[in-house]
Structure 1
Amino acid sequence: MAIAITVLHDENGQFSGFAKVTRDITERKIIEEELRLRDRAIAASQNGIVIADVTNPEGRIIYVNPAFEKMTGYSALTAISQTFPLLPNADINHAELQKLQTAMATGKDCTVVFRNYGQDDSLFWHELNISPMYDQDGYLTHYIGIQTDITERKRAETALLISQNHLQYLVSSSPAIIYACKPEGDYDVIFISDNISSIMGYEATELISNQGFWVNHIHPEDAPQVLAQLSNVLAQGKYCLEYRFLHQDGTYRWVYNQGKVVRDETGNPLELIGYLADISDRKQLEHELRIALEKEKELNELKSRFISMTSHEFRTPLSTILSSSELLQHYGQQWTPEKQLTHLQRIQTAVNRMTEMLNDILVIGKAEVGKLEYKPIHFDLVEYCRQLVEEVQLNLKNQQVFSFTSQFPSISCYMDDKLLGYILSNLLSNACKYSPDGSSVTFTLYVHNEQAVFEIQDQGIGIPSEDLPRLFESFHRGSNVGNILGTGLGLAIVKKCIDIQQGKIDVETQIGVGTKFIVHIPLNINN
C-alpha cells in the first residue's frame, strides 16, 4: 500500500489535523518487479542486447548490456549515443547488408550474419536479429537488437566443411566404392560414393532410388550364397564377400565386399556400412595362375607317361635290331640269302617303327607348345584320300579289307594337307591295328553344311566306356589293348590337328563290334 499524509490548517493558518490517503499500489509494484527482473535478465543474458531510439534521425543507441560490451569490445560509455546498428568494422557481404538496410527502412524484423572485428582487432562471427518496437499510436520508436556470438559455431562449420571436402576427395579418388545400406530385406542402398560411376558405370542416384537394385544386379549364380551369408550378418557383426556384379556395360565384374553393422546405443541395427572393390584383374590373374599350374601338372604327368612309354615301346624294336644284328654278325655267312633277308627286314621294320614313334613325339610336342603350323592349300579331297588309303595299305601290310567311297567324284577344299594326313593316317592305321585279319575297314567321305565329313569304321575290339573321357589324352591307351603295340599318341595328335582346323570329332563304339570315328572339317572353299 502507498500512504500519503497531508498536514491540515484552518483559515487562520493554525494546525488543524492530518489527512491520510491510502492507495493500493500492488499492480505497480508487480510491474516494477517484472521490469527489474527483465532488466536483470537482459543484463545477465549471454546474448548481446542493444536498444536504439529511432525517434531521432540518427537512431542513437541508448542501451547495451554487459554481454554486448564483452562480445564487441565496446564499453557502454562508448556505444551509447552511437548510430544503430553499431557495425564500424563489420565484414558483411552485400546481400546481407542490403537485407538489413531494407528491414530498417520498412520497419520489419531481420536476421543477418556477419564477421566483425573488436577494438582489439579480434575476429568474431555474429548473428544479429533486429526487431522494431512501436508505441500505442503505431509509431516506430525503438529497435531492439539481439546479437549472438556464433564464432565457435562458424569454426565448427568450417572445420566440418574442410573435413567433408577431405572425405569427399578421399572417397571420390579411392579405388573402392563406399556405401551404406539397410541391414535387412533387399539391403537397399542409403548412400553410395560418386565413384560408382567410374567403377561400375552407374550414377549414385540409380542405386539409391531403385529398390532392390543391388540384389538384382548380383550374378544369379552368386546371389544365393551372398544372401545366405548376409542373413547372418546381424549375429556376426561383419562380413567379407566375393561375387560377380553386373556392370552398366552388360558385363559382370568380380567385386570384394567388406562391411560391418552400425548399431544405436541400445544395440539395435541401423545400417550396414562397407566398401566394394573391383577385383576382376585379380580374379583373372588367379584364373591364369590356375591354368598355368594345371598345365604344369599336365606336363609333369605327360613327362612321366613319356618316360614310361619310351622305356617300354622303344625297348621292343631296339631288342629286335640288336638281336637280328648280332645273329647276322655271328651266323650271317652260314645262312642262306633268304634267311639273311628275313633278319634285315626285321631290322628295317623296327627302324620304321622307331621312326614313326619319334615323328609322333615331335608332332605332339609341337602341338603342346602351340607351334604346330597351319598352312592350308587348295586340293582335291577325293584324290588325296585315295592316295592316302593306298599308302596306308602298302605300309601296314595288314590283312584287312579296305573300302573307300565318296559322295562326289571330286571335292575341292582349302585345308592343311599335312595336318589332314596326320588325322586320317592315324585313324586308318588304328582301324587296322585294332581289327582282326580279314575284317573290313570302311572309309566314307561326304559333304555336309560346307564341311567335309570323314567316317572311318572298323570291326575291331572297340573302346571301353571308362576310357572315352581320356580318349584324346597324350599317352593314354585303352584298357583292353592287351599286347597290341602303340604309344598312345595317335588320337592325341588327331584331336590337336582337328582343333587347329576348327573341326570336331565324334566317336561311336561297341566292345567286340567295332568303332566309328566321324571327323568334321570346314572346306573353306570361299578362301
Structure 2
Amino acid sequence: MNDYHSPETILIVDDSEENLHLLTKLLLEHKYEVRPALDGQSAIVAALAEPPDLILLDILMPGINGYQVCEQLKADERTKEIPIVFLTALQEVCDKVKGFSLGAIDYITKPFQTQEVIARVEAQLANQRLKKQLEEQNRRLQQEIAFRTAAEKQLRLLERAIAASSNGIVITDAQLPDNPVVYVNSGFENLTGYTAEEVMGKNCRFLQGMELEQTGRGQLRQAITEKQECQTVLRNFRKDGTPFWQELTISPVYDPQGNLTNFIGVQQDITNRIAAEEALKKSEERWQLVIRSTGDGIFDWNIQTGEVFMSAELKQMQGFAEDELANTYEAWRNLLHPEDLDETLVALATHLKRQTPLYEVEYRLRCKDGSYKWILARGEAQWDQRGNPIRMVGSHKDISARKQAEQALQLSEAQQREKAKQLELALAELKRTQAKLIQSAKMSSLGEMIAGIAHEINNPTSFISGNLEFARQYFQDLIHLVELYQQAYPNPTPKIQDYTQKIDLDFLTQDWQKLTNSMQIGAKRISEIVRSLKIFSRQNESKLELLDIHESIDDTLLILEHRLKPTDKTKGIEVLKNYEQLPKVNCYASQLNQVFMNILANAIDALQTQTPPRVITISTYVTKQFKLQNLPNHSPAAVSASVALVSSLSLSQDSISQGYSYTDIMPNAQTQDNLGIQESSSSNLKEQQLHLKPPYQDTEFVVIQIADNGPGMSKELQQKIFDPFFTTKQVGSGTGLGLSISYQIIVENHNGQLSCISTPGQGTEFIIKIPV
C-alpha cells in the first residue's frame, strides 16, 4: 500500500464467514480499513451509507446475488464510480463476461492466493487514485481555462476602453533609460496632434517645449524617482504649436516579483477650466472691492462642499466676531427663526432648481445675544454644464427698521379695520350713486349739447333749404336773360367771347341743376340728423311715454352711421335687422336711447380689430313669460297642482307658437314626500285645479337682441361687465359706466331684464327684455 495516502476502505461481501475472516485479516495487515457484509442487501445498505474505495464482491450468495448487487450499485449516482472486483469460484468465460458487462473491473477466482488478492486490490486502488487525480487536474485545468478566457475578454474590453477614451493615455517603459513611450491611445493623438509613430521611443517632456521650469515637472521627476503615483498640472504644446493645459496622473506598474516595469500616464485637457479659474480670480478681486464698499453682508456658498464665506459685515450684523460663527451652511441654517425656516428653504430650493431668476426672501436671523433681526437676502446661483448648482453668491441687508415700521402700520390698520369695513359698504353705495350721477350728468349735458347743436344747425339748415328754390329760379332767370342777349347779339365782342369760353358757360348751365339738387339732398340729410338728435336727447322728458322701439334703434344707428361706414383702411360694418312687429312700449324714452347707444357703440368698438365680415345683427320680437305667484293660502298639493297646470299650458301648441316661457319663483321648493304630506289622487288634483285661481302671471315682453361677431368675452369678464367703472378698454377710452347704467335703466327703472351671452372667438349678444 502507498504510504502517502490515508487508509482506504474496502467493503468485503461474502456469505462465507471463513472467507470474510481470512480476507479481513489479510487486508488489515496491509493497513486497509475493512467493512464486511454477509449478504447482498447488507452490502447495498453499507455502500450507500458510506461509499467505500473498493468492493470485493462474491457472486454466489443467497437472496440477492453478486450480479444483482453490482447492477444496483452501478445504477445509483452515489456508488456507480466505486470499483467492484468479483470474487467467486465460477471460472467460465461467460460468467466473467457477464461480470464485466455489469461494471466490474476485475475478476478473482476461488480458491485465491493472498498475494494475488493484495496485488489486484492495490492495482485497482492505484488506478482509482490515478483516476481521481486526473479528474482533479482536469477540473483545475477547466477552471484555469475559464479564468484565462474571462481575463482575456476583460483585457480586450480594457484595451477598447483605453483606445476609446477621450483622455490621453501614455505607457512608458520604466526598465529602459529615460522612460521611453511604448504606447499611446487615440485620445493622446487627438489631444496633442502627434501620431503614435511620432512619439514612440521618446520621453514625454518634449511636449513642454522650451518651458522646462514648470512646477509640475519637478513634481513629476520626484514621483518617477521615488516610483510613486503623482498628479500634477503642466502647460504643453500641440504639434501645431498651440498651448494647452493638461492634468497628468501617473501610476507605477509592478510585475509579480515586485519589479517596476512601466508607468501609466493619463492626460486630461483642462484648458477651459484654467481659463474659467482665471476669470473667476478676476471676478473675486472685483467682488472684494464690492464687499469693502457696501454696508451689506456678503456670502459665497460652495454648494458642493457646504462651505460658506461670510464677510465680516455679515457676521457683525448679527453681533458675531470673525471667529465666532462657523463658515458653513449649517451654521446659517441654525440661526433661522423656526417660523421662517420652511418658507426660506423652499425659496432657496426653488431658485436652485432654476425656477426663479433670483433668490430673494425676507426672514429673521438670530443674533449673538438671542434677539432676531429681519434680513433681506438676495442671491444668484451658478450651475455646471449638467445643470447642477455649484455656487451661490448673495447679500444680507438689515431691514429690521422697515419691518418695525410695517408692524406699526399693521397695528394702526387693525385699529381702523372696523371703520374700514363700514367705509367699504358706504363706498360701494357711493360708487353706485356716483355712477348714476356721473352718467345722469353726462347724459344731461350731452342732451343739452345735442339739443343746442340741433337747434343751431336747424336754423341755418332751414334757411338753406328754404332759399335753394329761390336761388334755382334766380339762376334760371339769369340764364334766360343771357340767352336773349345771345339772340339779340349773335356776334358778341371778343372780350365777351373770351370770358364765355373761360367760364365754360354751357357746362356751368348744365352743372348748376346738379349742384342745386345735391344741395337739396344734403339739406334734407342734415334735417334728418337733427330730427334724430332731438329724438335721442329728449330733454326734460322724465315721464313715461309710448315709444316705437324700431324708430329709436334706427335713430341711434343714424347717429352712429359715420362709424359704420368703410374707411381707407377698413371695410364697413354691416347691420342686419330682423324686426318683427312690435307694440309701442311705455318707457323712459331718453333712457332707452342711452341703452341702445351704449350697447351698439360697444359692439362697434369690439369689431374695430375684427377681420371682415364684420356684422351687427339686431332682432326684435314679442314673448310671454309665466311666473308663479306666491300662494300663501294653498297647500303643497295645491302648489303642485298649479305647477301641473302651468306645465300643461306649456305643452300646448299655442304657447309654443307664441314664444311663451315659464319661470318658477318658489325657491327651495320641496316635494310632497319631503314635506310629509300624502299625494292627492288625480281626481282630487283636478278638482283643486278647477277651484284655484291661475297661480301664474302672464307678462308680455318686447325682446331686443343685439349681437356682433367680434372676439367675444370669457366667463370671468362676463361676470364683471355690469359692475360700475369696470371696462376692458384702454385707459382714456371708456369710463366703465355704460353697461352698469344700462343695467340699472333696464332692470331697476323698467322692471326688465338685461343679459349677456358671449363665447370667445364667436361674438357677444346682449338680450334686452322690456315688459309691455
User: TM-score w.r.t. structure 2 length?
Assistant: 0.25
**Greater strand proportion:** 1
Question: Which is greater in Rg?
Answer: 2
Q: Which has the higher helix share?
A: 2
